[in-house]
A and B are shown apart, each in its own frame.
Chain A
Amino acid sequence: MEEQLEYIEGAEQPISMHPKKFALWLFIVSVVMVFAGLTSAYIVRQAEGNWLEFNLPEIFYYSTGIIILSSVTMHWAYISAKANNMAMLKLGMTLTTLLGIVFVITQWYSWVALVDRDVYFVGNPSGSFLYVFTGLHALHLISGVIFLIIVLISTLNYKVHSQNMARMEMCTTYWHFLGGLWIYLFMFLLLNH
């Protein structure tokens, strides 16, 4: 009896989910709550009237296309990494990083387009909210691009492959989330404008 007890202690953890991946999901939850709070505030404020009406910049359609494309290349890179296809992985990661940077630039031009139609950050909350949504999303996206660059560097050093996927998986999750978040914000703006 005693002998057996001795062995059982060395047993493994009951559930072994990668703790850092799990923490990333929790971080995503908190980001979701920030935007849920802001978009709810938008609806509540809109219902009170005195709301400036204007057309959304068309450039949002382009940026949405770009971020969807970047999610596709990200997934391509992810599959290549799992298949140990290093050349494709590097290409996929490079494309995703570039598309991410292009997205941030197009978002900047959406602000230029807003200014062109006399919608400023300071003024009716209808416009200010738009700046806050895009700005805060772009801030998260920049953090995503930094993450992409870190992973890109380690792919160039052949540190990402089918046996070492944790960071790649986290990067993929975060990037898809950022894309999904933008699509949510864009749909939200289209429906509630």
Chain B
Amino acid sequence: MAVVNTSTQGAHAHEVHDEHHDNFITKYIFTTDHKMIGKQFLVTGIFWALIGGFLSILFRLQLGFPEMDMSFLRPLLGGWIDETGSLDQNFYLALVTMHGTIMVFFVLTAGLSGTFSNYLIPLQIGARDMASGFMNMLSYWFFFLSGVIMFSSLFLATGPAGGGWVIYPPLSALEQAIPGSGMGMTLWLIAMVFFIASTLMGGINYITTVINLRTKGMTFARLPLTIWSFFLTAVIGLLSFPVLFAAALLLVFDRSFGTSFYLADIYIGGEALPHTGGSPVLFQHLFWFLGHPEVYIVLLPALGITSEVIATNSRKPIFGYKAMIISMLGITILSFVVWAHHMFVSGMNPFLGSIFMFLTLIIAVPSAVKVFNYLTTLWRGNLIFTPAMLFAIGLVSFFISGGLTGIFLGNSAIDIQLHDTYFVVAHFHLVMGSASFFGLMCGVYHWFPKMFGRMMDNKLGYVHFWLTFVGVYLVFFPMHYIGIAGFPRRYYSWTNFDFASGYADLNMFVSVAAIITFTGQFIFLFNFFYSMYKGRVAPLNPWRSNTLEWTTPLHPGHGNWPGEIPAVYRWPYDYSKPGSKEDFIPQTVPLSSTPESNLPHEEEMVSLEKAIMAEEGQVLVANEAK
């Protein structure tokens, strides 16, 4: 077979170039290898996920068991537990804020997009490394520094930032407002500046690499959907993060230099502050111009990973490849024109509200296209339920159940009732939080064999999946009802209200489910680290997948392919092609070597392919003759 040989031939040519004599520091710490940087992002992301998850358990304890004596947490939280054994109210706000910040930015942006964009882009498009390995390394270390600063803010005497992850001024702008708006907020802003720099450097690299460093034959119409999603994610980040930077910059000036961009006519203790002429709504506009695209920065990579995993494990081509790309493009564009749906109750012109409502509801169209394409890909496929596949299907489930409530919230009239209630919390935790988290897990289970050359344990994977999947629904589904009943978000306690007392047991239930779900993640953690060293050694192509990364050696060196980079002859979704002997045909197999399964229009391309090969053969022969 001409087929398989293509990837193994010519191993002598570039060997010398790929040999690096790495010591520990250049190999594991200050590495410029995109694969190691991807793993660094992953491990750091897991670390942050544990912290973020643990913070949520702390405030769930308060919400589910408001009367509970939390003195047993004093060794950890110290003064944040007062003499009566209850959680400090300001620290509760800080917990909510840090949970949001950590999960949105550190876990689901850096941990998801950072891991898989870095790891997969060069491997799947056939490149030796990113366009700039140095900038890529810088991107990780800026993220790391940002993490160190954010982490140290957890230990301040006044506590970390407490104004919510959206840091609306004036709450976040005035030190007098809450303890968290002091040093905690300053560190939050510094950390985010480094984070923005990290994301921009990463994004510039991803875009440059996808456009400029694709291997021969890898046209845009042959890119795996993972790469399309990472590419569009990077585009969104490049356009939206600078605006967050602008918003944060003005906030820094208001906080530390006394300007009044966001502050006006504020009285504290009867004393007027000197700030005049600012507009707090201005901040919301700037923030949500990032904030809404950020939702898709978090979600799109997960959707791309799911496309790949569902197609591979259904043994079917992805349904509607072009429709998938067009709907992702549509989501990318629409994500920039819907930000004000977060501000329906911030005092907006109702006419403007209607426009934003209309634009918001249009997003349902490309999202539905994607959902139907996933379902039609699954439909009558030869489903193989690997843990990655289960997580991918779980993502589709959350995307549907969380997406439907988005249609309610997108309507400005309904949003006035539901705004800032637990209904919103339920909505975005399902559609953005859990869906993206499942995308992350799906990616880890699927590409673990490529990352570490070993297999993860399937049985533990199944247990992890079912615990998490059921757990997530048990946590977030009841929140819809709590929200419709009118429970506001971010409240420390609601036992003082009569209407709320009927839901005390439901909240208790949610908290117990959250604790069980969080505990379940340790199964994954064990599986991840145990399999890294003790797992079964992986075959070269364990999922019988078509994409390029599976043509590399088990432990690819820096440079990915020992010989020449393989060329690409077809799209990545030739699964179960009629007439073909195998149920998958890798991208490196030329059309001319599979006459039995070629479609009529592909037969035309065969002659073209042969002409190009003959031409190149002549050039090479001529070169050798010289």
Contact = CB atoms under 8 A, between A and B. Distances in A.
Interface stretch (A11-19, A68-76, A98-106, A144-152): A11-19
A38 B246 contact: yes
Given A37-B242, A121-B257, A121-B259, A6 B132 contact: no
Nearest to B289: A37
B613 A5 contact: yes
Contact of A132 (B241, B253, B566): B253
A30 B592 CA distance: 44
A180 interface: no
A41 B250 contact: yes
Given A5-B590, A41-B285, A33 B260 contact: no
A43 B209 CA distance: 36
B246 A50 contact: no
B238 interface: yes
B74 interface: no
Interface stretch (B5-13, B311-319, B359-367, B414-422): B5-13
B205 interface: yes
Nearest to A12: B216
Given A29-B239, A33-B243, A122-B257, A50 B200 contact: no
What DSSP secondary structure best describes chain A's contact surface? Answer: helix
B214 A19 contact: no
Given A9-B10, A50-B276, A132 B258 contact: no
Interface string A50-63: 11100000000000
B218 interface: yes
A19 B212 contact: yes
B211 interface: yes
Interface residues of B, number: 65
Contacts of A132: 249-250, 253
| Chain A interface residue bracket vs B | 35 or more
A11 B616 contact: yes
Contacts of A126: 277
B87 to A, nearest CB: 38
B259 A41 contact: no
Determine which residue in A12, A27, A38 has the highest number of CB atoms from chain B within 10 A of its CB, and name it.
Answer: A38
Identify whether the interface residues of B are mostly helix, strand, loop, or mixed: helix
Interface string B130-170: 01100100000000000000000000000000000000000
Interface string A13-54: 111110110110011011101111110110011001011100
Given A13-B213, A20-B131, A20-B132, A33 B207 contact: no
Contacts of A1: 2, 592-593
Interface in B81-102: none
Nearest to B244: A37
- For A5, A123, A124, A132, the residue with the greatest tally of chain B CB atoms inside 10 Å of its CB is A5
Contact of A2 (B2, B214, B253): B2
A27 B204 contact: yes
A4 B212 contact: no
A34 B246 contact: yes
B219 interface: yes
A10 B214 contact: no
Given A6-B9, A9-B566, A26-B238, A41 B282 contact: yes
B214 A125 contact: no
A136 B248 CA distance: 13
B131 A31 contact: no
B261 A45 contact: yes
B239 A23 contact: no
Contact of B211 (A3, A15, A121): A15
Contact of A5 (B5, B214, B247, B260): B5
A128 interface: yes
B540 interface: no
B285 A9 contact: no
B285 A19 contact: no
Interface of A: 1-17, 19-20, 22-23, 26-27, 29-31, 33-38, 40-41, 44-45, 48, 50-52, 121-126, 128-129, 132, 136
Given A15-B212, A33-B238, A36-B243, 15 more contacts: A1-B592, A19-B212, A22-B211, A23-B131, A26-B208, A29-B239, A33-B239, A33-B242, A34-B242, A41-B246, A41-B286, A44-B282, A121-B257, A121-B259, A124-B277
Interface of B: 2, 5-6, 9-10, 13, 131-132, 135, 200, 203-205, 207-209, 211-219, 238-243, 245-247, 249-250, 253, 257-261, 264, 276-279, 282, 285-286, 289, 563-567, 590, 592-593, 612-614, 616-617, 620
9 contacts: A6-B6, A9-B564, A27-B200, A34-B245, A40-B285, A44-B285, A45-B279, A122-B259, A125-B261
Q: Which 3 A-B pairs have the closest CB atoms?
A: A33-B242, A19-B131, A37-B243
